[in-house]
Amino acid sequence: MNPPVAKKTALEKFATPPQPAPVALKYPKPRILLVDTPPEAGDQLAKSGFNVTSGTFGRPYRVPKSDSLRPVIASATLPDYKEQEVVVIDLSVDDVADEPQGEKHVPPGTKDLWSSCKSGQIDPRCRVAAALRNDFHRILKHGGAFIVFAEDPQKREMFWGHVPYSNEVKIEEKISVSNWAFLPALDELATTSDHGREMVCVGDFGELTKLLNKHIPEGGFNCTLSPFDLYDEDWEVLAKNKYGVGVAAIRKVRAPGSTEGIVVVVPQLTDKSTFIVKFVTSILPVFCPGLFPHIEQGAWLKGELYELPRVLELRNRQVEVIRQAEAESHRLSAEIDSEIRENGWIKNLLTGTDASLVEAVKKGLAAVGFNEVRDVDEERDSVGKDRREDLQIHDSSPVLIVDVKGLSGFPADSDAFQSQKHATLRVQEWRKFEVQGLTIINHQRHLPPLERDNVMPFRQEILDYASEMKFGLVTGWDFYRLVRSAIKLNWPKEATKAALARIGRINPIPDHYELVGKVAHVWTGAVSIQLDSGDLRIGDRISFELDVEFEEQDITSLQIDKKEIDHAPQGSRVGTTTALGRPILRDGIPIYRIKRT
The predicted-structure confidence for 532-560, as pLDDT tens digits, reads as follows: 999 999 999 999 999 999 999 999 999 99
Measured distance CA(548)–CA(347) in Å, rounded: 13
pLDDT value for 21:
46
Q: What's the pLDDT band for 154 if we cut at 50, 70, 90? A: confident
The whole-number average pLDDT for the span 309-326 is 92
The predicted-structure confidence for 135-149, as pLDDT tens digits, reads as follows: 999 999 999 999 999
Q: Residue 419's CB: how many other CB atoms inside 10 A? A: 27
Q: Residue 495's CB: how many other CB atoms inside 10 A? A: 18
pLDDT value for 457:
96
Pairing of the two strands 262-266 and 145-149 = parallel
Q: Is 95 exposed, middle or buried (0-12, 13-18, 19+ CB in 10 A)?
A: exposed
Measured distance CA(260)–CA(309) in Å, rounded: 37
Asked if 88 contacts 276 with a C-beta cutoff of 8 angstroms, the reply is yes
Q: What's the pLDDT band for 254 if we cut at 50, 70, 90? A: low
Please provide the size of the chain in residues.
Answer: 597
The whole-number average pLDDT for the span 190-198 is 93
Q: Is the pLDDT of residue 298 over 70?
A: no
- Three-state DSSP at 552 gives strand
Residue type at 101?
Q
- Three-state DSSP at 161 gives strand
Residue type at 458?
F
pLDDT value for 425:
94
Q: CB-based contacts of 113: which residues, under 8 Å, 6+ apart?
A: 71, 72, 127, 158, 159, 160
Q: What's the pLDDT band for 256 if we cut at 50, 70, 90? A: low
- Rg of the chain (C-alpha set): 41
Pairing of the two strands 590-594 and 541-545 = antiparallel
Q: Residue 485's CB: how many other CB atoms inside 10 A? A: 24
Measured distance CA(91)–CA(87) in Å, rounded: 13
Tell me 220's DSSP state: B
Q: Whose CA is closest to 214, among 148, 147, 266?
A: 266
Asked if 46 contacts 109 with a C-beta cutoff of 8 angstroms, the reply is no
The lowest-confidence range among 64-68, 210-214, 369-373, 398-402 is: 64-68
pLDDT value for 545:
97
Q: Is the pLDDT of residue 297 over 60?
A: no
Q: Whose CA is closest to 104, among 112, 96, 94?
A: 112
Measured distance CA(122)–CA(71) in Å, rounded: 9
Q: Is the pLDDT of residue 181 over 50?
A: yes
Q: Residue 435's CB: how many other CB atoms inside 10 A? A: 22
Q: Whose CA is closest to 379, among 389, 370, 371, 369?
A: 389
Measured distance CA(149)–CA(151) in Å, rounded: 7
The whole-number average pLDDT for the span 301-321 is 85
pLDDT value for 78:
93
Measured distance CA(410)–CA(387) in Å, rounded: 23
HSE at residue 344, side-chain half, CA atoms within 13 A, is 9
The predicted-structure confidence for 377-396, as pLDDT tens digits, reads as follows: 888 888 888 888 999 999 99
Tell me 437's DSSP state: E
Tell me 565's DSSP state: E
- The β-bridge partners of 522 are 527
Question: What is the C-alpha end-to-end distance of the chain, expressed in Å?
Answer: 72
Q: Whose CA is closest to 576, among 588, 559, 591, 561?
A: 559
- The β-bridge partners of 189 are 227
Angle between the N-to-C axes of helices 354-367 and 476-489, in degrees from 0 to 180, rounded to the nearest 10? 30
Q: What's the pLDDT band for 104 if we cut at 50, 70, 90? A: confident
The predicted-structure confidence for 199-248, as pLDDT tens digits, reads as follows: 999 988 888 999 999 999 999 999 999 988 766 678 999 999 999 999 99
- The β-bridge partners of 441 are 405, 475
Q: Is the pLDDT of residue 2 over 50?
A: no
The lowest-confidence range among 279-288, 318-327, 352-361 is: 279-288
Measured distance CA(134)–CA(200) in Å, rounded: 34
Measured distance CA(402)–CA(355) in Å, rounded: 14
- Residue spans of alpha helices (H) in 163-231: 207-215
Tell me 76's DSSP state: -
Give the helix/strand (H/E) hosting 193: strand 189-196
Measured distance CA(484)–CA(281) in Å, rounded: 65
pLDDT value for 108:
79
Q: How far is CA 443 from CA 370, 404, 410, in A?
A: 24, 11, 6
The predicted-structure confidence for 434-450, as pLDDT tens digits, reads as follows: 999 999 999 999 999 99
pLDDT value for 551:
97
The predicted-structure confidence for 26-85, as pLDDT tens digits, reads as follows: 889 999 999 999 999 999 999 989 999 999 999 999 999 988 888 999 888 999 999 999
- Three-state DSSP at 487 gives helix
Measured distance CA(253)–CA(263) in Å, rounded: 9
CA 259 to chain centre: 19
Q: What percent of the chain has pLDDT over 70?
A: 93
Measured distance CA(520)–CA(586) in Å, rounded: 8
Q: Is the pLDDT of residue 333 over 80?
A: yes
- Residue spans of alpha helices (H) in 431-509: 460-469, 476-489, 493-499
Q: CB-based contacts of 400: which residues, under 8 Å, 6+ apart?
A: 392, 393, 436, 437, 438, 472, 500, 501
